[in-house]
Structure 1
Amino acid sequence: MARPWISEQIQATVRQRAKGLCEYCHASEQWQYVQFTIDHIIPLAEGGSSDLNNLALACFHCNRRKGRYQDAIDPESGQTVALFNPRQDRWLDHFRWSDDCLRIMGMTPTGRATVAALALNRERILAIRAADYEIGRHPPLDDR
């Protein structure tokens, strides 16, 4: 299926609403080398649309890992649960930062499944978070 064109205005609205953060791993687009992508939370192939209520700002890695998935296995219970949905769920209800502020801890089945499925604590992002923490730009202000 061909991806529909998403206007610059809608992309700007998505970025502004997300405050420039990947809505999954909370990486800041400002400090990355690659512009973040616009994710269809419910994939087009699964009946999703390109309206603002189905769009989220996502770093390349989170968008690629999420792909067409809407659910994943909670590693604690083994149950299939919905992935985090930035338009329906509040990030702080499902996730918190570890004491050293480097790892995202899933606090609910949805949080744990999302952390595992999207590899929110992959080695590269941990190194980026550590460097950003040292100079005071991590964690994001609204997560503190």
Structure 2
Amino acid sequence: MADEPRAQVRERFRARCAYCGVHEDAVGATLTVDHHRPRAHGGTDDLENLVYCCARCNEHKGAYWHELDPPHVRLLHPGRDELAQHLRESDDGRFVGLTSEGDFFAQRLRLNRPQIVAYRRARRVEAKLTAELAASRRRVEELERAVVDLRAALESTADEIERRSKGRP
């Protein structure tokens, strides 16, 4: 596969595994390009058939194709299917299927393996801390503006006191 389609697929999935969500920075390497419909089962190199994914998800998916392989459940396509309609992330970082396809997707790709669950938890904590930091920065900015306003009011009051103490209106 030429570098250009690979770069396009990588960009399309924002350098994350389209199946489990791990970012290539977290694994310390670029990810693989998977043929959602395997070449062995008529899949092509068309961009719509290509999915950026980690080696582990690629390994677990294998050459599965629902039309030919049991249990004949369609494997969701992260670029075409709205995964949130089929899966949700529970509070403990595990993926829970909301549909039979979502359940199969999580099982086939082993999306609840301990390392990826830990990764999701860490991302959730990081997102929470980032939001808290942003809120704290906004609060500091508000307080700094309030201090500027209070200084101006204090200076105005001090000037008024000085004028009155000198007998000037």
Using structure 2 for the length normalisation, give the TM-score. Answer: 0.68
| 1:95-114 map, 5 Å | 95-100=87-92, 102-114=93-105
Aligned sequence identity (%)? 37
Instruction: Give unmatched runs, 5+ long, in structure 1.
Output: 1-5, 74-78, 138-144
Aligned counterpart, 1:90: 82
User: Equivalents in 1 of 2:90, 2:17: separation in Å?
Assistant: 18
User: Equivalents in 2 of 1:126, 1:93: separation in Å?
Assistant: 20
1:34 to 29, 48, 57: 29
Shift of 1:28: 1.7
Shift of 1:12: 0.9
Shift of 1:31: 2.0
Instruction: Give unmatched runs, 5+ long, in structure 2.
Output: 129-169
Work out which structure has the larger RCO, using CA pairs closer than 8 Å and 6 or more positions apart in sequence: 1
Aligned counterpart, 1:24: 19
Aligned counterpart, 1:142: none
Amino acid in the other structure paired with 1:121: N
Aligned counterpart, 2:39: 44
Question: What is the SS of the residue equivalent to 1:57?
Answer: strand
> Is the CA contact 1:24–1:84 (under 8 Å) kept in the aligned structure 2?
no
> Is the CA contact 2:41–2:65 (under 8 Å) kept in the aligned structure 1?
no
Question: What is the SS of the residue equivalent to 1:34?
Answer: coil
User: Equivalents in 2 of 1:132, 1:53: separation in Å?
Assistant: 28
User: Equivalents in 1 of 2:29, 2:96: separation in Å?
Assistant: 25
Aligned positions, number: 126
Determine which structure has the larger strand proportion and give its number. 1
2:9 matched to 1:9? no
Using structure 1 for the length normalisation, give the TM-score. Answer: 0.78
> Is the CA contact 1:41–1:48 (under 8 Å) kept in the aligned structure 2?
yes
Aligned counterpart, 2:146: none
